[in-house]
Structure 1
Amino acid sequence: MPAGEGRAPRHVAIIMDGNGRWAKKRLLPRAAGHRQGVEAARRVVRAAGDLGLEVLTLYAFSSENWRRPATEISDLMGLLRRFILNDIDELAEAGVRLRIIGDYQALEPDVVAMIDSAIARTAANTRTTLVIALNYGAQQELVRAARSLAADAAAGKLDPGAIDITDIDARLDTSDLPPLDLLIRTSGEKRLSNFLLWQAAYAELLFVDTLWPDFDRDALAEAIAHFGQRERRFGGL
C-alpha cells in the first residue's frame, strides 16, 4: 500500500475562506461572517482530537490582510482576543497545545501578551496541536529562512554548497511539526494564497465549495476520509 493510502492524516491545514460571502448571502455585515467563522473554528478544533489529528493548522490572518479596511482588521483582532479569553480554558482541559506561526509579535502588545500566556499554559499538552497562522505569509517565511542560512554561511558556520532541504526545513516556522499531509480550502476558491507553500510540496490538496462558517465536524471527517482514498506516490510510481 503506498504511503498514506487508507490512512488518516497526521497534519491537516485549512484556509478558512468564505466568511464575507456567507454574510453577504444573508444581507449581514462582514463582521457577522467573521463571528460565525470563529464558531466554525471552535467546532473544527473540538473535532480534530476526536478524529485523531496530531496537528490542525488554521490560516487566521495573513500578512496581506493588513490591506483590508481598518474597521475589519479591528473586528478580526477583537475576535482573536475573545477567542483566546473564552477558549483557552477549554483548549487546556482538552489537551490541546497552542502554537503560532507567522510574525505575531507585530500585533498589538495586549494581543501578543495574551498569545504568549496561552502558549505557555498549553505547552505541555499532547493530545492535539492547534497551530494558528497569524500575520503569516509563506513567501516571507522563506525569505526569513534564506536570510538565516545566508547569515550562517557568511559567518563561516555553514557551507553554502552543502545547504539542502533539511536545512531549509529547520529554519521554517513549522520546523517542530510533522509534515503537512492535507491542505483544505473552503469556499470553492482554488489557490494557496501564500499559505504553507514549501510545506505543501507533497501535501494532498482539497478544495471544497462549503463556505467556512458552514464547515463542521462532518465536513472535516469527510475530508479526512477523502484523504484516505488517495494514493500518495511522492514522485515515485
Structure 2
Amino acid sequence: MTRMADAAFAAPSLLPGWSRAHVLTHVARNADAMINLLDWARTGVPSPAYASREQRDHDIEVGARRDPSAIRDDVVDSSDRLAVAVRGMPEQAWTERVGGNGPHAMPASDIPWLRAREMWVHSVDLDVGASLADAPAPMLVAVLDDAARSIGASPHCPPMELVATDLGRRWSVGGAGTGDGPELAPAVDAISADDVRRVAVNGTTVQLATWLLGRSKGRELRTGDGSPLPTPPRWL
C-alpha cells in the first residue's frame, strides 16, 4: 500500500466492481469491525461487527472516494487501534462468544485469525503482486479449511472432493460433506460410494484455495473424470 502511487488507488482490484481504494477502505473498516467484537467480549454488551450490511457497503463506497493519503492513514490508524484493543483484552474475555447467537457465535479467540485471513486474502485482491503462494503453509491450509467449511454449508454448493496434490489432503465440500477440515487423501479403492458421486477437483493447495475463494478461474485444476469444474457459491 505504501508503495502504491496515488493513481493506482483508482485502478480495478481483483474483486468485481471494487477499485483498490475500495479494498483498502474495507480493510480499514474490517479493523473497526473486529474492535467492535472485542468490545463485546470485554464488556458483555453486544456490539455487532457492522451495524448492517447496507451500512458496511455504504461506508466502503464513501470511503473509497477519499484522497489516497487519507486512505493510507486510515488503514494504518485503524490497524493500530485494533492492536491496542487486542493488547487490552483480559485473558478471560477471549473465551466469550460474540457475533451472534447459536451457530453464528464464535469465541473471541477467533478474532485475530479472522483479521489475519482478511489481510492475506485482500492483499491478493489489490493485484499488486501478492499471492496466496506467499502465505505460510499452515496459514494456507487454514484459509482453505475456512472457505471449504463456509462454502460447503451453502445448500447451493455442489458436492466436491478437493484434493491437494502437494499435501496429500482432501476436503469434502457440499452435499453430505461438512468441510470440517482436511483429511489425508485416501487410496482410490478406499473412497466411499458418496465420495465417488462427488466431483474430484485436483490441484495444489494454492490453486484450490485461490479458485474456491473466487480469485481465479481454476485453469490449472483438473477434475478426476475430466468434466468441467463445478461452480461453487461465492465466498463471503
State if a TM-score over 0.5 links the two structures.
Answer: no
TM-score w.r.t. the length of structure 2 is 0.26
Give the greater-gyration-radius structure (CA).
2
- Which structure shows the higher strand fraction? 1
Q: Which has the higher contact order (CA 8 A, sep 6+)?
A: 1
Taking structure 1 as the reference length, the TM-score comes to: 0.26
